[in-house]
Chain A
Amino acid sequence: SQTIHQWPATLVQPVGSPLSLECTVEGTSNPNLYWYRQAAGRGLQLLFYSVGIGQISSEVPQNLSASRPQDRQFILSSKKLLLSDSGFYLCAWSRAQGAGNTIYFGEGSWLTVV
């Protein structure tokens, strides 16, 4: 069966510090990978998605970047965090040819920028 791991689960970072959130998927190959942010009252916002190694599409211009160094690894980064980067970050995957592109989420990472 497929599993998705995301870490760290919680972190508190000062403004201006760097960020690295990591996500790995097991039990499947060549998945589509996603980073979402969820803010209270604003729903799920798609930040980045990737259909293959080194292929990253950005949905929203922002202070964040993503990378996919390996087939089942997805990393969300920032060089300098802003207060507005606080939120709940979710990694997700879907089968590349899956019907309806059902996506499966990780447990999420709570980021507080202080």
Chain B
Amino acid sequence: QKEVEQDPGPLSVPEGAIVSLNCTYSNSAFQYFMWYRQYSRKGPELLMYTYSSGNKEDGRFTAQVDKSSKYISLFIRDSQPSDSATYLCAMSRTGANSKLTFGKGITLSVRP
């Protein structure tokens, strides 16, 4: 079993839809959870960052962590064509030099 599993997609939704992107993980030591957004032919950019369980909201984006189920989600409300990108989940343990473990990413297309 891979440490981090992410739905492979691709995912296509109409503009205005609510999008749910999900990752599961197997390592219970993970404490920090992130979502990165990557536009075509660009480097990933940090979108959301959460520590331990709970929700975090930033504009149209909500990150949710359920450590009991080892499941994290990213919700996008009122999706826009500019949200079309690849989304990668990432997570790490505590410790100064703990490295991130990434999901493979899911490509989202928002149709006008």
Binding site for B on A (CB under 8 A): 6, 32, 41-44, 46, 49, 51, 88, 90, 92, 96-108, 110
Cα of A6 to Cα of B42 in the assembled complex, Å: 12
Contact of B45 among A6, A99, A101, A105 (CB under 8 A): A105
Among residues of B, the one whose C-beta sits closest to the C-beta of A107 is B43
A43–B105 CB distance below 8 A: yes
> Does any Cβ of A come within 8 Å of B62's Cβ?
no
- Interface of chain B, helix or strand or loop or mixed? loop
A43–B43 CB distance below 8 A: no
Please name all residues of chain B whose beta carbon is closer than 8 Å to the beta carbon of A6 when the two chains form the complex: 43
A-B contact pairs, 21 of them (CB 8 A): A6-B43, A32-B97, A42-B104, A43-B104, A51-B97, A90-B43, A97-B96, A99-B32, A99-B51, A100-B32, A100-B49, A100-B92, A101-B99, A101-B100, A102-B46, A103-B100, A104-B46, A105-B36, A105-B44, A105-B45, A110-B41
Interface size on B, residues (CB 8 A): 23
Cα of A103 to Cα of B98 in the assembled complex, Å: 11
> Does any Cβ of A come within 8 Å of B25's Cβ?
no
Considering only residues 89-108 of chain B, those with a C-beta below 8 Å from chain A are 92, 96-100, 102-105
Q: How far is the CB of B101 from chain A (nearest CB, A)?
A: 9
Please name all residues of chain A whose beta carbon is closer than 8 Å to the beta carbon of B34 when the two chains form the complex: 100, 102
> Does any Cβ of A come within 8 Å of B88's Cβ?
yes
B92–A106 CB distance below 8 A: no
Cα of A23 to Cα of B100 in the assembled complex, Å: 20
Among residues of A, the one whose C-beta sits closest to the C-beta of B51 is A100
> Does any Cβ of A come within 8 Å of B80's Cβ?
no
A46–B43 CB distance below 8 A: no
B99–A46 CB distance below 8 A: yes
Q: Can you add 6 more A-B contacts, CB < 8 Å, to A44-B44, A49-B99, A107-B43? A: A32-B97, A41-B104, A99-B32, A102-B32, A105-B43, A106-B43
